Amino acid sequence: MTWAAPIIRLFAALDRRHAIKRILTGLPARLRQDYGHAGPYTPEQVQASVRRHGIVAEHHIPYAVAIFSDRKGLKRLNLADPQGPDYEALRAEVGAVWFSADPDFTPRDLARFEAAHADHGVSHSDASGHHSDSFGDGDDGGGGHH
């Protein structure tokens, strides 16, 4: 049974990767639908949208929170529950796979990712055709995506 643990880890990694891609492609439009383009989104808003729209399983919600919540909200969560998820580590994991190893991916990076993957059935603009990349904490720097 020495092969079981590596296979379980492989399937868990594939499950996480799939969940993160669903978050990156499915959640931005839902957040805009639920809360508008104003952003940044609070962790509670992100959690509510994920649950409301069934984006991913409950155990993947911390990734959504880490990706789309403002940094102040993440710090507040970490202070409130030091035993909870390490949101900065989750951001680093997402950045390593999807944003050229940059844990400081920006709202613009997220919007580029969403636009690049919109052909998978996820709209990246609202009914008027306006595109938004206003979630996050306001930094508009560079970066890329995987």
- Is residue 133 in some structural domain? no
pLDDT of residue 118: 73
* Between 130 and 55, residue with greater pLDDT: 55
Q: Is the pLDDT of residue 72 over 70?
A: yes
- Is residue 69 in some structural domain? yes
Please report which confidence band the pLDDT of residue 1 belongs to, taking 50, 70 and 90 as the band edges.
Answer: low
Distance CA 125, CA 95 (A): 23
- Closest C-alpha among 25, 101, 111, 40 to residue 71: 40
pLDDT of residue 127: 35
**Model pTM score:** 0.76
pLDDT of residue 108: 83
The structural domain count of the chain equals: 1
pLDDT of residue 131: 37
Alpha helices in 59-143 (DSSP H): 61-68, 71-80, 87-98, 107-116
- Is residue 135 in some structural domain? no
- Is residue 6 in some structural domain? no
Q: Is the pLDDT of residue 138 over 50?
A: no
CA 59 to each of CA 18, 26, 50, 63, 134: distance values in angstroms, whole numbers, following the listed order: 13, 17, 11, 9, 26
What's the one-letter identity of residue 73? Answer: G
- Is residue 96 in some structural domain? yes
